[in-house]
Amino acid sequence: MFAKPGSRWRSVTCTTEVVVVKAVAGEVDLQCGGQPMVAHDAMSDVVGRPAAGADSGTLMGKRYVNADETIELLCTKPGDGALSIGGALLVPKGAKPLPSSD
């Protein structure tokens, strides 16, 4: 799939929905719960449950990134599945530290 910034995706294994904030050019294997995500407007029902190891869930309002932060997703609806790209789990993005006010 081509996940360009601004595109919306949803899981087929849980209620997770995301918006792509930052992406690389080309195709990515965006998954949730161990299954490929589908376009937000695609006619597809939730089938099955998240796979073992891909069931840590997502939190609404959190940004998820890969190890080198080339992909960034914003969770707009939480669910039971974990986000991944090509089998590598995405992690919540940490807050940037504020400058010291000494």
Position 2 pLDDT exceeds 70: yes
- Segment 4-24 shows an average pLDDT of 93
Position 99 pLDDT exceeds 90: no
Ranges assigned E (strand) in 1-102 = 8-10, 17-22, 30-32, 35-36, 38-39, 63-65, 72-77, 83-85, 88-89, 91-92
**pLDDT, tens digit, for every residue of 23-82?**
988 889 999 999 999 999 887 777 778 988 899 999 999 999 999 999 999 999 999 999
**pLDDT, tens digit, for every residue of 85-98?**
988 999 999 888 88
Read off the tokens for 46: 């939730």
pTM greater than 0.75 = yes
pLDDT at residue 72 in the model: 96
Asked if residues 13 and 50 have their Cβ atoms less than 8 Å apart, the reply is yes
User: Using CA atoms, how far apart are residues 3 and 48, in angstroms rounded to an integer?
Assistant: 24
pLDDT at residue 102 in the model: 64
